[in-house]
Amino acid sequence: MQKLKVLFLCTGNSCRSQMSEGMLRFFASDQFEIFSAGIEPAPRVNPLAVRVMKELGIDISDQYPKHVREFLNQSFDFVITTCSNAKKACPVFPGKTTNIYWDLKDPTEARGTKAERLMVFRETRNLIYLNIMAFLKKYGKS
């Protein structure tokens, strides 16, 4: 059976979409072909995103930011935008695509001590987990 293709899209492809890609891959790589990209990709995946994912046993340290242009000629079953900026700038992909919007705040905008910023990254990660579980309940195989 052919895997369904999922693209996670955010502004910088350094946190939210990377964590989403890693988490869906962890739970359902047997069901989905999973990608992520950004409208304006950052130079690297945010180290705090890598750290909070590692706390769950999910390693995203080998992932890297990609520009959405790399995927424009591909079709996707699902395009999941993880922020309002990506939702507004999301290109149209060929084929029948289900567009899903997750309104996740950008954890890189958090201020304070490293511990306080880590808390914000964990909150974002936990919201992504809830969204991934809801997505799998609706679209995944039991």
Alpha carbon 34 to its chain's center: 9
User: Nearest Cα to 19, choosing from 47, 141, 86?
Assistant: 47
Is 15 noted as a catalytic residue in this protein?
A: no
Instruction: Spell out the residues 6+ positions from residue 89 whose beta carbon is closer than 8 angstroms to its own.
Output: 39
Which is it for strands 78-81 and 98-101: parallel, antiparallel or unpaired? Answer: parallel
**Catalytic position from the list 28, 79, 83, 120:** 83
Is 10 noted as a catalytic residue in this protein?
A: yes
**Catalytic position from the list 7, 10, 45, 86:** 10
**Catalytic position from the list 9, 52, 90, 100:** 90
Is 83 noted as a catalytic residue in this protein?
A: yes
Beta bridge partners of 89: none
Instruction: Spell out the residues 6+ positions from residue 140 whose beta carbon is closer than 8 angstroms to its own.
Output: 28, 31, 32
Residues with a catalytic annotation lie at 10, 83, 90
